[in-house]
Structures are given as structure tokens and as C-alpha cells.
Amino acid sequence: MTIRFNDETFRDDYSFRNSAEAIRRFPFPFDKDDYMYSVNMEPHGTGGRAGSVFEKRFDVDEHYVAEMRDRAITLAGDPLRCQSLPHMELAGWDLLELIMQCKAEDYPELFQLHRDGDRWHWINRPLGIEQRFTFLDPTTLPCGPLEYITRQAQGDFAVLDQREGNLWMDAGMVTSQADWSLDFDIGMNFFEWHAPVPKAAEMGIFQRALKFLLAVQQGAPSRRLNWTMTVNPRLDTSPENYHLWGPEKRTITPENVGAKQYLRVELQSFWRLPRSNALAFPIRCYLIALEDLVTVPKWARRLHRVIRDLPDELADYKGFAVNRQIIIDYLAQFDDGKPTSPGIFADD
Amino acid sequence: MRATEFSSSIPSRPVYAGLRPHGALPALMLAEGAGGEALAELAGADPSVMRRAHLFWIPAGAGPGLAARLRALGPAGYVEGPDYAALRPRFVRALADAHMGTRLYLAGDEGLIGQAMADALAAGMPLEAIDAEHRGGIARRMQCVHCKGITENVTTDPFTCAHCGLNLFVRDHYSRRIGAFQGVCVDAETPGQVPEPQEIKP
């Protein structure tokens, strides 16, 4: 398998595009025609459906190189997007090992990891990186282990300390977030950083999710999908820069909605780390323009029904209430009312 | 003046359970203005709390009578300062010198409690060792999520960031590490369309 990496942008001229292959493997998040919060966990790891984003442990796709370039731009403008409280250094090394090992095993033609005791040699071909370093010795890397490896891995990464029967947002690399601030939330516990989410707390979602996550075992990662809507293929929809990207949300018209309105899906996974007992929480973002999504008839029908029937509070929270009717009107033309098959995958 | 009762909100919004005496354990006490009454009431409920307490006092408009009353409670140490910024170096030093098992009593408005608690947590004091009671005004200490600057004593929503000048709305989302609520641009999507400011309610 070879991947052709796109030369594309996630800001300014927004030249991001999904190939036909990327559309086919898009992680469509709805397994039925309506949506409400749930603790929709399932096992993650090797052996996922061939060709899907679940096949490998840390999916690498055609956007890899461009996403890493976009992350570097964001970090250059705001170093606080990557932070680690002092007690999280070991968890950073755990994460570095996990990602290097998984990438090297799952994509041997792209990544290699050679270990001789503590002396490691890492080769990242797509990014042209070759690094010899001593594991657990931070002076042998150009930056901390968390920042080093997450500059080479798609998606945001939260690293959660586990203590007092709770999870604590004590480290992370967050440059492609759906409007939350690591700098503000760092140090908070599970209930505190989820505090702004409407309805879910009274549904008991967070109590159940926390119970599940506290019990995640080493070697048995889990995953779930989450979603929102974003105008333009923008990774950095941070609160920090909201005043800069906010005006774009008001540029949707019936004419451009198919091209400018994107479904944004997070593939969230959860990994127990071996030395620190921390929980790694990668949040991988996938974007698809509505006009590309509707090329899959099942997804078009279902997304129409989900958006149409969504409780108002959720559309508000997810930030697309202002464009909701235009989205519904656009999708309606692709919904002939026929039943949809169960599950998230396109019909073959 | 009684402890402030806040309307119910999201789980990150701090609630202040009030001061409860923990006996003659080593203690740091910090009060500002109306918070001094809370310390006096605490000592009234259990005079032994003062025996090993170092008291930091910011009068902030409270008359000299209250200062005299606090001194008369007989704390092991007494430091007075004009505001938290001025008192902070000595308070932070006391936090650094504190032994395990030391209690912290905080009483005043949210800005004072927030800053002092952030310093205490950064110094390694466990959250469970801290009692806090809200007394005084309900002005909030706000962090601008955009420029990161802190605006003190915010009483309206929206308000203008004292640093970058953006119009920010007042969220209930609160960071104990920063000791501030989050302010987010209110007219980000429609620049210039700023709602009429309203007084913040408890």
C-alpha cells in the first residue's frame, strides 16, 4: 500500500480535498437515522475492517503531511497549544513509545523504529525525519517527548492522569479542536472539563463514561466517534482564534453549502499507558464536504434525518444552529425517504 | 453580611462551602474586606483555630475596627497588605514553608479566592485542605481566551478585555489553575454586533 500525500492547506485558501478513496473510507458517525449522546465505545486495535480508518491503530492517510504542517503553523503562533504538567513527563514517553511502535508495525514502509536497549533510532519517511535518541532522556530530543511525537501524529492528543477515582486533563497537544481550550482546561478533572456540554451530565453520560475509562486496560484500547459541523476545512477551530474564524461561519448560502459546509468527525481512542498508568486520548479529526458526503446515498439520507431531527440544544452546542436550515434544505434533495441499512458503512 | 449564595450552574463553576473549623492544626488564613467577618466568626466557633494560624489580612475598605478584632483573636502570625498583588510574595512564601497537614482558610470575593487558591494548588496544597467562603461583591476575575490577559472585577456581561479590547461574554466555565472564568469574544461571528451589557448576577 502506498499513500500519496496531498499538498493542501487547512486555512487561508483552504485547498484541502478528499480523494475518492478518502471519501469511501470516511468514518461516518451515525449508525442509525437519529442521534443522541451515548457511551458508544467499542474495541479498537489491530484487525479493524480492511481499508477503513479503523484498520490501523493510528490511521495515517493522504492528509498526514499537510496536517502536520498545519499543526506547526498553529504552534508557531501559540506555544500554549501543547502543554504538560510536570508530573506528566513519563506519560509523554509512554505515548511516544506507543505511537512509534504502532506506526512502525502498521506502516513499515513509512516508519521504522530500531531499538538497542535505551538507544532508539526513529525514521519517519513522509516527514523526512531521522532521530537517534535515548529513551527517557529528554535532553536527547529537540523538545519534550509528547510534543516530539505528536508533531508527527495526526489528531489532537489529551493525556489524562488517573488518580482519586477520576481522570485529569494534565497534558496535551491540541491544535485541531472543536472549540475547547487546553490552556484553560489543563488540570481539570473529567467532570470539570466536560462542564459546558449540555444535557449529557443529567443523562448520566459522564458518570458512565468515566467508569468505563478508569477500567481501560493496557493492550485493550477502545474507541468512539464524535461529530460536529465546521464551515471550511479548518483544523484550528480553537476558542483562542474564534474571533478570526468566527466570521466564516456566517458565509454559508444555499449555493455554497455543499462545498463549504463540512461534517467534522472525531475518532476518539483510549489507551492505557504502561509506566505512568495515564490514559492516552487521541482525538483524530476527519473532515468531509457535504457535496462529497452525498455521493454515498445512504449517508446523504441519514445525515439529512439526523440534522433535521436533532434537539435544538445540540445544534446550538455544536455551533451550527445558524446554518442548520440551509444544511437541512440542501440534504433534503438527497433523501428519497427510503430506509437505510444498519451500521455506519456505505452499502457496497 | 452573610456568605453569598450562587445560583446553580455547571460543574466547573466553583462553589464555596464556607469556613469550618479544623481545630488547632497549623493554618494559613487569608481574608479581604468583608471576608474578615468570616474569619472572626470561624474563630468565634472554635478559638483554637487561631493558635497555630498565620493570618494575612487585606482591609480593602473594612475599617480599622475589623483589623483590631482579627489581631485580638491571637493568631500566631499577622501580616497586613493593601491588596493581593502586594501581599502575594509573603503569602506564597508561607505556602512554600507550610508543612503537610496545614489548612488554608480563604474568605473574600471570587477574585481573591481564585488567585490565592491557584497559588496554593501550585505550591502543592491539596484541594481538600482548603476552605473558602465567599463574602463581598460578585465581580468576576475573567481570562480572555484569545489574548490570555486577565481582567479583574468584571461586573457586566459582556465586557471589554482590559488587554486586547475584544468584547467578551462571561462564561461559567472556570479554571482553578488560572483562578478565573473564561471570557470569549461575543461578536466573533458578527463583528460589531455587541449585546447591551447586563449586570452579572450571583
Ramachandran bin of A55, using left for φ above 0, alpha for ψ from -120 to 50, beta for the remaining angles: alpha
Q: Which band of pLDDT confidence, cut at 50, 70 and 90, is reported for residue A1?
A: low
Residue B57 has pLDDT above 60, yes or no: yes
Taking only the tens place, the pLDDT of each residue in A105-146 is 999 999 999 999 999 999 999 999 999 999 999 999 999 999
Catalytic residues of A: 224
Measured between beta carbons, the chain A residues lying within 8 angstroms of B12 are 188, 191-193, 195-196
Mean pLDDT of A71-91: 97
Nearest residue of chain A to residue B143 (CA atoms): A184
Backbone angles phi, psi at A148, to 5 degrees: -60, -50
Residue B116 has pLDDT above 90, yes or no: yes
The H or E element that residue B143 is part of is strand B140-144
Q: Whose CA is closest to B125, among B151, B101, B89?
A: B101
Q: What is the length of chain B?
A: 202
Measured between beta carbons, the chain A residues lying within 8 angstroms of B13 are 195
- pLDDT number for residue A176: 95
Provide the total of helices (H) and of strands (E) in chain B, helices listed first. Answer: 4, 12
Cα–Cα distance measured from residue A341 to residue B5, given in angstroms and rounded to the nearest whole number: 53
Question: Which of B12, B178, B188 is the closest to A242 by Cβ?
Answer: B188
Distance between B9 CA and the closest CA of chain A, angstroms: 9
Q: Is residue A140 part of a domain?
A: yes
Measured between beta carbons, the chain A residues lying within 8 angstroms of B143 are 184
Class of domain B27-134: alpha beta
Total Cβ atoms within 10 A of residue A310: 19
Q: Is residue A248 part of a domain?
A: yes
Nearest residue of chain B to residue A188 (CA atoms): B175
Residue B162 has pLDDT above 60, yes or no: yes
Which residues 109-128 of B have a C-beta within 8 angstroms of A?
A: none
- pLDDT number for residue A204: 84
Question: Which of A193, A247, A322 is the closest to B191 by Cβ?
Answer: A247
Cα–Cα distance measured from residue B57 to residue B35, given in angstroms and rounded to the nearest whole number: 9
Taking only the tens place, the pLDDT of each residue in A170-196 is 999 999 988 899 999 999 999 999 988
Q: Are residues B190 and A250, on separate chains, in Cβ contact within 8 Å? A: yes
Cα–Cα distance measured from residue A285 to residue A248, given in angstroms and rounded to the nearest whole number: 19
Is the CB of A191 inside 8 Å of chain B's CB atoms? yes
Q: Whose CA is closest to B42, among B114, B111, B131, B120?
A: B131
Query: In terms of pLDDT, which residue wins out, A153 or A205?
Result: A153
- pLDDT number for residue A203: 78
The per-residue DSSP string of A100-150 comes to HHHHHHH-TTTEEEEEETTEEEEEETTTTEEEEEETT-GGGSSS-HHHHHH
Share of chain B above pLDDT 90, in %: 89
Residue A40 has pLDDT above 90, yes or no: no
Average pLDDT, chain A: 95
Helix axes B110-122, B84-97, angle to 10 degrees: 30
Question: Which of B12, B171, B184 is the closest to A192 by Cβ?
Answer: B12
Q: What is the Cβ-side half-sphere exposure of residue B172, based on CA atoms within 13 angstroms?
A: 18
Q: For chain A, how many structural domains are there in total?
A: 1
Is the CB of B178 inside 8 Å of chain A's CB atoms? yes
Distance between B104 CA and the closest CA of chain A, angstroms: 20
Is the CB of B164 inside 8 Å of chain A's CB atoms? no
Nearest residue of chain B to residue A239 (CA atoms): B145
Q: Is residue A7 part of a domain?
A: no
Q: Is the peptide bond before B158 cis (omega within 30 degrees of 0)?
A: yes
Distance between B188 CA and the closest CA of chain A, angstroms: 4
Share of chain B above pLDDT 70, in %: 100
- pLDDT number for residue A348: 62
Mean pLDDT of A155-176: 97
List chain B domain ranges: 27-134, 140-199
Q: Which band of pLDDT confidence, cut at 50, 70 and 90, is reported for residue B149?
A: very high
Q: Are residues A187 and B177, on separate chains, in Cβ contact within 8 Å? A: yes
Mean pLDDT of A48-70: 96
Locate A242 and state its grid cell. Answer: 474564534
Question: Which of A184, A201, A247 is the closest to B175 by Cβ?
Answer: A184
Cα–Cα distance measured from residue A258 to residue A177, given in angstroms and rounded to the nearest whole number: 22
Q: What is the length of chain A?
A: 348
Q: Are A218 and A274 in contact (CB under 8 A)?
A: yes
Q: Is residue A179 part of a domain?
A: yes
SS3 A333: coil
Q: Are residues B145 and A239, on separate chains, in Cβ contact within 8 Å? A: yes
Question: Which of A201, A243, A249 is the closest to B166 by Cβ?
Answer: A243
Q: Which band of pLDDT confidence, cut at 50, 70 and 90, is reported for residue B122?
A: very high
Mean pLDDT of A281-289: 98
Taking only the tens place, the pLDDT of each residue in A225-240 is 999 999 999 999 999 9
Q: Are residues A184 and B11, on separate chains, in Cβ contact within 8 Å? A: no
Mean pLDDT of A84-95: 97
CA A309 to chain centre: 25
Query: In terms of pLDDT, which residue wins out, B13 or A106?
Result: A106
Q: Are residues A201 and B11, on separate chains, in Cβ contact within 8 Å? A: yes
Is the CB of B143 inside 8 Å of chain A's CB atoms? yes
- pLDDT number for residue A38: 78
- pLDDT number for residue A35: 87
Which residue out of A84, A192, A231, A248 would a mutagenesis test of the B interface target, given it has the greatest number of B Cβ atoms within 10 Å?
A192
- pLDDT number for residue B1: 56
- Identify the burial level of A13 via C-beta atoms within 10 angstroms of its C-beta, where 0-12 means exposed, 13-18 middle and 19 or more buried: exposed
Q: Is residue A297 part of a domain?
A: yes
Q: What is the Cβ-side half-sphere exposure of residue A214, based on CA atoms within 13 angstroms?
A: 15
Question: Which of B10, B145, B189 is the closest to A240 by Cβ?
Answer: B145
Comparing A79-83, A287-291, A311-315, the range with the smallest average pLDDT is A311-315
Q: Is residue A83 part of a domain?
A: yes
What ipTM was reported for this prediction? 0.91
Q: Which residues pair with A224 in a beta bridge?
A: A268
- pLDDT number for residue A201: 74
Question: Which of A195, A242, A243 is the closest to B173 by Cβ?
Answer: A195
Q: Is residue A117 part of a domain?
A: yes
Residue A321 has pLDDT above 70, yes or no: yes
Q: Are B67 and B39 in contact (CB under 8 A)?
A: no
The H or E element that residue B93 is part of is helix B84-97
Locate B8 and state its grid cell. Answer: 446553580
A:B CB pairs within 8 Å: 63
Q: Which domain holds residue A109?
A: 20-332
Provide the total of helices (H) and of strands (E) in chain A, helices listed first. Answer: 13, 10
- pLDDT number for residue A39: 75
Cα–Cα distance measured from residue B126 to residue B140, given in angstroms and rounded to the nearest whole number: 24
Q: Are residues B145 and A241, on separate chains, in Cβ contact within 8 Å? A: no
Distance between A66 CA and the closest CA of chain B, angstroms: 25
Is the CB of A322 inside 8 Å of chain B's CB atoms? yes
- pLDDT number for residue A197: 82
Distance between B67 CA and the closest CA of chain A, angstroms: 36
Measured between beta carbons, the chain B residues lying within 8 angstroms of A247 are 188-191
Q: Are residues B178 and A184, on separate chains, in Cβ contact within 8 Å? A: yes
